[in-house]
Amino acid sequence: MDRTITPPLSDEVVESLRAGDRLLITGTIFTGRDAAHKRLVELIDKGEPLPIELRGQIIYFVGPTPPKPGEVIGSAGPTTSGRMDAYSPKLLDLGLKAMIGKGLRNEAVKDALKRNKAVYLGATGGAGALLAQRITSAKVVAYEDLGPEAIRELQVEDFPVVVINDMYGGDLYVEGRKKFERKVDL
């Protein structure tokens, strides 16, 4: 059964999530890919303020296509999350509670999820047009010069995701593989 969560996320909400949980997000989330993440981390390293508040928030790793006339946003499918692995721990340490993408995360990110009571969520790759239908508004809030990789504030309604990595070390990719592995006697 799907459960609805609304950002900003509290520790209590994150504590209740487990790898494999299906969620629907309703509320405000932010977008950001590697170029934006690099700029955010550069600001953190310089001790300068960030253009968005990270505490309790969700960042969706997406670079949407331009909208057609009458559309809020173009195709908005997840990008490969591993490209953000070098930056994610610092953002999590500042209070980011969830990231949405596709693909595996490295051990440093998984450790940061545990340390900061945060989760990694998966969105279905290849379904960008369908996911865009769950986005009711989109506006650039930072780094407009990055085009599709600018940071956007999205309003979403019933945006479907699955918990891939929870704060307890649960990993849906590992658990799923174990569930369907065939044991072969040699």
Catalytic residues: 37
3-state helix, strand, coil in the chain (%, to 5): 30, 25, 40
Q: Which residues of 161-176 are buried (b: 16+ CB within 10 A; e: fewer)?
A: bbbbbbbeebbbeeee
- Is-contact 40 59, C-beta < 8 A? no
Cis-peptide into 66, omega within 30 deg: no
Query: What's the farthest any 2 CA atoms get from each other in the chain?
Result: 61
Q: For 174, list phi and psi in degrees, rounded to 5.
A: -70, -50
- The backbone torsions φ and ψ at residue 155, rounded to the nearest 5 degrees and listed phi first, read -100, 125
